[in-house]
Chains A and B, each alone.
Chain A
């Protein structure tokens, strides 16, 4: 059983070097993110929620994301290369990186205690 946890993947790849700009196509990635069902657990914007963590502006490097999606055996069902190719995941990666950075919660009046 190959075990790649999100933390292990991110730490390993962060040590190798910070995420580089993706070669993927954000527009296509948006489409694939919907067609392949990623939105179901991560939200249309990759914002995360009770069913899956935030992916928008992910700190993971692109290779880390690809390895995770293909190989995870944790709470997320894996998606093989047949279901989502590396190239499609590059597009998804670009889409996730293109999501607007959220405002600082301290500047949103409704989020004040």
Chain B
């Protein structure tokens, strides 16, 4: 929808409509035959329609515009707005519904902040923005084409929503049904296009004037950047982008963006939580997306040490150093008398078990904690609960509930704990610390022993894969930007994860296909910060949209992708096997080594060739564990020279 043009330039739609009919010939509505939708031309025009210059000359308009459209295009103003938000990149797949904005970005905006990054799939653009944010804390904008582009982007948007990551999605749409081009652009247009993603965006808008766009963009950015973070979608009408700003242009303004603060817990609840924690004999802290930034890690260490509380890091962010003596695996909830959950995506699942082995094909629920255990929750996600998609998980009753941002609440909670602490309790905590240090050493010893089993196996064990990799990168300023598929959690078990950027967490919505684009986006961010990015890349994840490999090569994004190529969608292999066992049937393997429909073999995909064809340095398939270390070394030298590198490693299933 476009504003009526009040300026001197001709209105695009009226002008084009007229030209399409018969130059400047009038349309005789009364003479249109009943079947015809548009009046037929009376005669073929003998000359081209008048140009803007001719019109200006004939009408005596002295303010002759320097372009065909008659003034500064609306999309130039859009670029002015976008530039105030310091959005560095726009990973996008090109399309006519935002061609005007595209042109303004690269020419008027000089393709800087944002710089256009060419993507092969809209899901890749969103995934890149997702990964980029987790390193920088700054959102990117991705442009998507009408109905079809937004449809392609949806799973990535859902992942970002579930992972509480802001992404600015700009959609193109041509709203005026009477004047938009018929055919393809009309297939790609919708009445309420953002309805596609409304259930899993924090906010969306369809501004119908340039001034409304300015407000919408700054508002959208602010909403996306207010914890809990999340994606927002803004749909831009093609006419609004393409038409000149018009006479009211001089009155346009750009609202200033100021960073909002995060919502923190109410003081009464904070004090009650502190009282419970200080009085607990065995307090346990469980963190999932607690540390939004590096500062969040430090705050959690401070709180844990004050309380001498065990910390379970569920790993959707790097919340707590796994080298800290208070770090514990998930089972530590069993002995807790008070549990503090920080931004848990699933509190129910934290304190309950679900065993997928019921008598009648339905799983069995059981408690993992004592019935008397007190539960405290700090989670901002409760502030944006929606209805349709079930990312809020099962309902869990808690004793103290704070719908607030965990990281923003921790300083107050730390102070409250200090106030509630007695000297007697402090002395007891010192004793707890000694025991905790001893127990921690034992845990790490057991993990190393488990990693040694099948150390020399071929295909290569996931423990060997991860430790060969760690052995090579540990002296770099490394960042494990994604670990897709399942490598039995070895990096979190045995790598020294101490910095926030050492681990970025998972996809959020468990939509497979996140890993490849998110690792490229995060590697882009790390490139700008001078860090070394590595990903553990599974086969199934890569093949949803492998075109992002080309994007990495094209834009010189250094990333070491080491494949966990178990030649299967292995998670599903096990699901089908489980069903077969329940039903007392042998599993049909067809011609493969596992159940039909779950294996990626016959033929084996030559990922090294796939990557090479898109500009990566690559090697494989590596099946002998003795060859893995040297190959990683070689690949690292390439990555340090600025080129992405991939190793196709054949691995054990898990």
A residues with a Cβ closer than 8 A to B are 1, 34-37, 39-41, 43-45, 47-51, 54, 56, 73-80, 82-83, 99-100, 102-106, 108-111, 113
Q: In the complex, which of the residues B580, B581, B587, B593 has the most CB atoms of chain A within 10 Å of its own CB atom?
A: B581
Residues of A within 8 A of B582 (CB): 77
Chain B residue nearest in CB terms to A75: B355
| Given contacts A43-B652, A102-B454, A50 and B488 within 8 Å (CB-CB) | yes
Q: A40-B653, A108-B448 are in contact. List 5 more A-B contacts (CB 8 A).
A: A1-B359, A47-B461, A48-B453, A49-B486, A77-B582
Q: In the complex, which of the residues A34, A35, A39 has the most CB atoms of chain B within 10 Å of its own CB atom?
A: A39
Residues of A within 8 A of B489 (CB): 50
- Contact flags B444-456 to A (C-beta < 8 A → 1, else 0): 1100111111111
Q: In the complex, which of the residues A100, A103, A110 has the most CB atoms of chain B within 10 Å of its own CB atom?
A: A110
Chain B residue nearest in CB terms to A78: B581
B residues with a Cβ closer than 8 A to A are 355-357, 359, 444-445, 448-457, 459, 461-463, 467-468, 470-471, 486, 488-489, 494, 570, 573-574, 577-578, 580-582, 584-587, 589, 593-595, 652-654
B573 contacts A56, C-beta separation under 8 Å: no
CA distance A40 to B585 in the complex (A): 16
Residues of B within 8 A of A80 (CB): 584
B586 contacts A111, C-beta separation under 8 Å: no
CA distance A93 to B624 in the complex (A): 26
Q: In the complex, which of the residues B356, B453, B470, B581 has the most CB atoms of chain A within 10 Å of its own CB atom?
A: B453
Give B169 Cβ to nearest chain A Cβ, in Å.
Answer: 34
A110 contacts B653, C-beta separation under 8 Å: no
Residues of B within 8 A of A79 (CB): 581
A40 contacts B468, C-beta separation under 8 Å: no
The secondary structure that dominates the A interface is loop
Residues of B within 8 A of A103 (CB): 452, 455
B457 contacts A45, C-beta separation under 8 Å: yes
| Given contacts A40-B653, A110-B470, A111-B448, A56 and B574 within 8 Å (CB-CB) | no
Name the one of A35, A39, A54, A76 contacting B653, with C-beta atoms under 8 angstroms: A39
B359 contacts A45, C-beta separation under 8 Å: no
CA distance A50 to B111 in the complex (A): 46
Give A97 Cβ to nearest chain B Cβ, in Å.
Answer: 14
Residues of B within 8 A of A109 (CB): 471
Residues of A within 8 A of B455 (CB): 102-103, 108
A102 contacts B467, C-beta separation under 8 Å: no
Name the one of A1, A47, A77, A105 contacting B652, with C-beta atoms under 8 angstroms: A47
CA distance A87 to B238 in the complex (A): 72
CA distance A84 to B357 in the complex (A): 19
B457 contacts A40, C-beta separation under 8 Å: no
Residues of B within 8 A of A37 (CB): 577, 580-581, 587, 594-595
| Given contacts A50-B486, A77-B357, A77-B578, A45 and B570 within 8 Å (CB-CB) | no
Residues of B within 8 A of A113 (CB): 444, 448
